[in-house]
């Protein structure tokens, strides 16, 4: 049956916690103070960054929300916040590299930003975007194509959380066939968003659909949930798969 067969047996002992140092880099978080629904102050940001270092990460790419009807963050606002954060990291002697991109809400404003190349990316042209939680946008494939035409690699944030796909994975498979990378929110695996999201995340892992994993950390209760995720068998399965790009970033 093999290692994972034993791990998934009902009543089996929990595995040892995953060593997050093997991932090296977290790619989805909200640590820049005061510009979205993440850390409200620099002090809160630093508490979170210390916690991420304690978990084993040596780098974080923090990704503030950008949305036309909500957080109208520009590259200038985000990079200004990053400079402030980096200065404090250096002042406190924290051994953690901090970079920034953004989590873009998919709307027509994003399509324009992509066309004008007014977006922040991480790695080699990785562009993180999210969808509404109610319905799939009609322009999804259109905007994905626009990203790719401009030389970006689209990364869909937390696809396991979109309820409109839970009964039909055909659209997800179509996105994978078109080269869209998927990013898992780690705490989905310990039930952080409910049992249906957890089940969806496990399906995606079984299909080998995730290339990136992120904390989506906004506050300290997310850190606690992340710690609680470390003994989840499916987290072991994903990290041990060798598919994750995190260590290369």
109: domain CATH number?
Answer: 3.20.20.140
Token pair listed for 104: 């873009």
Q: Which range marks the domain in which residue 46 is found?
A: 2-9+19-240
Confirm whether 14 is domain-assigned.
no
Each residue's pLDDT tens digit, 218-245: 999 999 999 999 999 999 999 999 999 9
Nearest residue to 219 via CA among 29, 59, 76, 1:
29
Host H or E run for residue 100: strand 97-100
Confirm whether 233 is domain-assigned.
yes
What average pLDDT does this structure show over 123-127?
A: 96
Confirm whether 179 is domain-assigned.
yes
Each residue's pLDDT tens digit, 87-117: 999 999 999 999 999 999 998 899 999 999 9
Confirm whether 246 is domain-assigned.
no
49, 82 contact by CB (below 8 A): no
Each residue's pLDDT tens digit, 144-170: 999 999 999 999 999 999 999 998 899
Confirm whether 69 is domain-assigned.
yes
Confirm whether 247 is domain-assigned.
no
Each residue's pLDDT tens digit, 52-83: 999 999 999 999 999 998 899 999 999 999 99
Confirm whether 248 is domain-assigned.
no
Token pair listed for 52: 């991420």
Total tally of structural domains belonging to the chain: 1
Token pair listed for 249: 């970033």
- Give residue 12's pLDDT: 63
- What angle do helix axes 108-115 and 140-149 make, rounded to 10 degrees? 10
**% of the chain with per-residue pLDDT over 90:** 91
**% of the chain with per-residue pLDDT over 70:** 95
* pLDDT higher than threshold 90 for residue 197: yes
Chain mean pLDDT for the chain: 94
Confirm whether 124 is domain-assigned.
yes
């Amino acid at each position: 049956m093999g290692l994972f067969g034993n791990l998934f047996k009902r009543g089996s002992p929990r595995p040892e916690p995953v060593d997050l140092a093997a991932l090296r880099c977290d790619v989805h978080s909200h640590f820049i103070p005061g510009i979205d629904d993440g850390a409200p102050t620099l002090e809160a940001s630093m508490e979170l960054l210390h916690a991420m270092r304690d978990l084993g990460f040596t780098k974080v790419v923090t990704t503030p929300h950008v949305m036309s009807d909500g957080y109208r963050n520009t590259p200038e606002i985000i990079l200004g916040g990053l400079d402030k954060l980096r200065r404090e990291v250096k002042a406190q002697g924290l051994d953690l590299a901090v970079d920034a991109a953004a989590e873009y809400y998919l709307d027509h404003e994003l399509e324009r930003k992509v066309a004008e190349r007014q977006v922040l990316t991480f790695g080699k042209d990785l562009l993180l975007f999210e969808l509404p939680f109610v319905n799939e946008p009609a322009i999804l494939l259109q905007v994905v194509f626009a990203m790719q035409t401009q030389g970006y690699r689209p990364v869909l944030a937390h696809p396991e959380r979109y309820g409109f796909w839970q009964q039909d994975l055909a659209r997800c498979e179509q996105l994978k066939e078109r080269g869209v990378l998927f990013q898992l929110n780690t705490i989905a695996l310990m039930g952080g968003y409910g049992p249906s999201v957890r089940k969806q995340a496990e399906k995606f892992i079984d299909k080998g659909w995730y290339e990136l994993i992120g904390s989506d950390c906004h506050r300290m209760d997310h850190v606690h949930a992340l710690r609680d995720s470390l003994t989840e068998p499916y987290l072991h399965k994903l990290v041990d798969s060798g598919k994750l790009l995190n260590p290369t970033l």
